Amino acid sequence: MHSEKLKKREYEARLPALRAELLEAQNSLRKANFPVIVLFAGVDGAGKSEMVNLLNEWMDPRWLINRAYARSSDADTDIERPVFRRYWHDLPPRGQIGLFLSAWYSQVLLGSVAQTVSESEFPRHVQRICRFERTLATDGALILKFWMHLDKRRQRKQLERLEANPATAWRVTHTDWAHWAMYNRFVVAGDQIIDATDAPLAPWRVIDGADHRYRSMAIGQHILDAIKKRLNVASPVPVPTDHKPSPVDWLSGVDLKQTLNKKEYRLRREQAQGDLNRLCRQAKQQKVSSVLVFEGWDAAGKGGAIRRILRALDPRTYRVIPIAAPTEEEHAQHYLWRFWRHLPSAGNITFFDRSWYGRVLVERIEGFARTDEWQRAYNEINEFEQELVESGIMICKFWLHIDQDEQLRRFEERKTIPHKAWKLTKEDWRNREKWDVYEQAVNDMIQYTNTSYAPWTIVPANDKYTARVHVLETACEHLQKTLSSRTRR
């Protein structure tokens, strides 16, 4: 690579205008509906940290988020949670800029250099990165990735120059020289990663880091141009999808006539609660986490089913997350962001009372999500769940199914029992009128998200006893299976 330079005089002449324009762009961005994600990776000494510091100096730090990550052993807030949880957690809200140092590239890059990431594992790492960036980019995030380059000779020179000056010698550590010795491996790994993760919506730009004025100006200008260009696009172009209504009517096949008498219910419930308690203690020891998702018609008995499970568990190991309208902070992020927040830590359980499936149910039907948004959500959700399963989390998804008559009966009952009346809202009656469109949406949801790694369980729930035992026994089964597959490994 031919090394580029910028004279001091030219740099100083151009700088004030660039800074003023960057600030102006940042200001316009605040009213925009997308975040900007800037990532720096590359060779040590090519100016990654310096660039982050410089951008902090140039722009308004109140709307900038800086994130650099220690090695994973240090990632105290994320121990034994999926690796990407912290990157999700740290994403800038719409209207703001996030500056990331290496971040989601460091594991695969350092792993490839140190050969702890094998050739066969490499594609999985890269795929995970591509998915993450694609998910954000299709939601509107502007993603800019800079690979800071330095040739081997210059890297050595840079380190030597810093070492020679007593005032800056502290900047050079053993690690720097160790990395320098592996320069060739580093460059090869870098090339592979750039190739594999360069995407139209998340492109790499390789920057020669030898001359600090050249690289600063080039990156600053590039960020400015990209933001300005994006601000001028009227609105994101919806990506056309090929959504077809589900050819299968999943709900019609459910036998809602099953019942269970009280005695048998008690027997099976207590048996299953005992089993589940034992399995959960085992899961805790083996650090297998679980996510249990409860969806279902209004009044189908989601809450009651969850409570029958809770009674079998140690309260220190679970959290129940009821999903209502998003908060302001949640609303300023990708819709999956608020679910990443609540993932269980090692060996623990999160119950979602309603979940990310709201995207393809209520948000689809009420128009809170655009057509292209809910249509691409099936795939996003599948990828999200796959990510969790690959991190060792077990997922159980329940659809509690009742028919229209049973719902009406329960609505009427709620009206008359004082301590149940609160459960019944005008929204419930409105939703009821849309039974048919919901039915289609539920069928589509099951059709397109019923994956091998996170299958749906449709629970016949006209009879509450049947439903509760069904849920409890299914949770046991899944957990049993997950635990034995882990032990076999």
By CB under 8 A, is residue 72 in contact with its own copies?
no
Nearest CB to its own copies, comparing residues 414 and 432: 414
Nearest CB to its own copies, comparing residues 9 and 170: 170
By CB under 8 A, is residue 277 in contact with its own copies?
yes
By CB under 8 A, is residue 152 in contact with its own copies?
no
Which among 139-147, 250-258, 302-310, 429-437 is the span making contact with its own copies, rule CB under 8 A?
A: 302-310
Is 472:269 a contact under the CB 8 Å cutoff? yes
Q: Which of residues 184-223 bind its own copies (CB under 8 A)?
A: none
Is 36:227 a contact under the CB 8 Å cutoff? yes
> 92-131 mask for its own copies (x: CB under 8 A)?
---------x------------------------------
Which among 13-21, 150-158, 443-451, 467-475 is the span making contact with its own copies, rule CB under 8 A?
A: 13-21
Which amino acid is residue 429, in one-letter code? Answer: W
Least distance in Å: CB of 340 to its own copies? 14
Least distance in Å: CB of 185 to its own copies? 22
- Locus of tokens 């990395």: 179
By CB under 8 A, is residue 253 in contact with its own copies?
no
By CB under 8 A, is residue 8 in contact with its own copies?
no
Angle value at C-alpha 374, between 378 and 446, nearest 5 degrees: 40
Nearest CB to its own copies, comparing residues 244 and 426: 426
d(CA 489, CA 474): 23
By CB under 8 A, is residue 328 in contact with its own copies?
yes
Q: Please name the helix (run of DSSP H) or strand (run of DSSP E) that holds residue 101, with its range, or none.
A: strand 97-101
d(CA 422, CA 298): 13
By CB under 8 A, is residue 171 in contact with its own copies?
yes
Q: Note the helical H segments in 183-335.
A: 183-197, 212-232, 262-286, 302-310, 328-331
Q: Which of 200, 240, 253, 418 binds its own copies (CB under 8 A)?
A: 418
Cα distances (Å, whole numbers) of residue 254 to 292, 444, 459, 462: 21, 16, 8, 11
Least distance in Å: CB of 246 to its own copies? 30
d(CA 97, CA 88): 14
Main-chain phi, psi angles of 355, to 5 degrees: -160, -160
Is 469:260 a contact under the CB 8 Å cutoff? yes
Is 56:162 a contact under the CB 8 Å cutoff? no
Angle value at C-alpha 459, between 374 and 284, nearest 5 degrees: 85
End-to-end CA, the chain = 47
By CB under 8 A, is residue 480 in contact with its own copies?
no
Nearest CB to its own copies, comparing residues 213 and 243: 213
Which DSSP symbol is given to 195?
H
d(CA 180, CA 173): 11
By CB under 8 A, is residue 57 in contact with its own copies?
yes
By CB under 8 A, is residue 68 in contact with its own copies?
yes
Nearest CB to its own copies, comparing residues 50 and 383: 50
d(CA 167, CA 23): 33
Which among 187-195, 245-253, 270-278, 457-465 is the span making contact with its own copies, rule CB under 8 A?
A: 270-278
d(CA 328, CA 93): 10
Least distance in Å: CB of 178 to its own copies? 16
d(CA 117, CA 189): 11
Q: Which of 36, 42, 47, 69 binds its own copies (CB under 8 A)?
A: 69
By CB under 8 A, is residue 413 in contact with its own copies?
no
Cα distances (Å, whole numbers) of residue 298 to 126, 149, 202, 352, 439: 41, 57, 41, 15, 13
d(CA 294, CA 153): 59
Short-list 36, 52, 44, 234, CA closest to 136: 36
By CB under 8 A, is residue 70 in contact with its own copies?
yes
Q: Which of 76, 119, 255, 436 binds its own copies (CB under 8 A)?
A: 76
Least distance in Å: CB of 174 to its own copies? 12
Which among 131-139, 190-198, 218-226, 321-329 is the span making contact with its own copies, rule CB under 8 A?
A: 321-329
Q: Which of 5, 30, 33, 79 binds its own copies (CB under 8 A)?
A: 79
By CB under 8 A, is residue 329 in contact with its own copies?
yes
Give the total of residues touching its own copies (CB under 8 A).
64
By CB under 8 A, is residue 264 in contact with its own copies?
no
Which amino acid is residue 184, in one-letter code? Answer: N
Applying CB under 8 A, the residues found at the interface with its own copies are: 16-17, 19-20, 22-23, 27, 49, 52-53, 56-58, 60-62, 66, 68-70, 74, 76-77, 79-81, 101, 166-171, 267, 270-271, 273-274, 277-278, 303, 307, 310-311, 314-317, 319-320, 322, 324, 327-329, 345-346, 353, 417-419, 421-423
